[in-house]
């Protein structure tokens, strides 16, 4: 195979996409609101990819993703990833994310500390935001302080971390309320 291929496949949460090269999985695209939007996102990020029958490696990834979204606990260890262009620190974050057990979460700070870079929580957050291997590399298990569940990376479609964690049976996590978002930026009250 020359270049990159992709396919769209059915899951319990909608039609996902997977992009691959001869080296391995390049990216996973979780569903957008409509399949057309999922395809559009794939074309925006990978305009060179052509729709094809997936090779065995991509089939293994698809099978695992479908299973995970049905509540199973798949093993992605046999799935090869194409990590070309992924910075070394990001790879370390992804490797660590793969060790977080299903149903558990870690904060950006905890991951940074585990990697021996305790002051690098922001860098961990940036790596998580750039995760293109959604679900294969479970960065949805890495949360900001306070376990707030925010939106996923651009490959996350309309699915939230909260929904993915709920599918995995993770402990309930809190999301920021409007009050919590606005309070830090509200001007102080004048003293009377």
Q: Catalytic positions, please?
A: 139
Asked if 133 contacts 140 with a C-beta cutoff of 8 angstroms, the reply is: no
Instruction: Give the CA-trace dihedral at 75, 83, 45, 163, to 10 degrees.
Output: 30
Asked if 35 contacts 17 with a C-beta cutoff of 8 angstroms, the reply is: no
**139: closest CA among 167, 176, 105, 97?**
97
**167: closest CA among 190, 191, 144, 138?**
138
Give the whole-angstrom CA distance, residue 158 versus residue 35: 12
Give the whole-angstrom CA distance, residue 186 versus residue 180: 10
Give the whole-angstrom CA distance, residue 106 versus residue 161: 13
């Amino acid at each position: 195979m020359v270049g990159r291929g992709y396919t769209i496949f059915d899951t319990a949460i909608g039609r996902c996409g997977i992009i691959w090269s001869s080296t391995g999985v390049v990216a996973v695209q979780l569903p957008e609101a409509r399949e057309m939007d999922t395809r559009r996102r794939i074309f925006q990020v990978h305009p060179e990819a052509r729709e094809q029958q997936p090779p065995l490696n991509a089939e293994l990834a698809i099978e695992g993703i479908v299973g995970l979204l049905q509540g199973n606990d798949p093993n992605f260890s046999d799935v090869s990833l194409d990590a070309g262009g992924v910075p070394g620190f990001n790879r370390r974050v992804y490797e660590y994310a793969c060790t977080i057990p299903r149903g558990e979460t870690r904060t950006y700070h905890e991951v940074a500390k585990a990697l021996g870079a305790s002051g690098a929580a922001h860098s961990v957050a940036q790596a998580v935001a750039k995760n293109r291997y959604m679900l294969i590399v479970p960065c949805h298990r890495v949360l900001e302080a306070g376990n707030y569940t925010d939106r996923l990376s651009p490959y996350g479609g309309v699915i939230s971390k909260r929904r993915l964690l709920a599918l995995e049976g993770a402990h309930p996590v809190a999301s920021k309320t409007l009050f919590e978002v606005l309070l830090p930026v509200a001007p102080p009250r004048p003293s009377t």
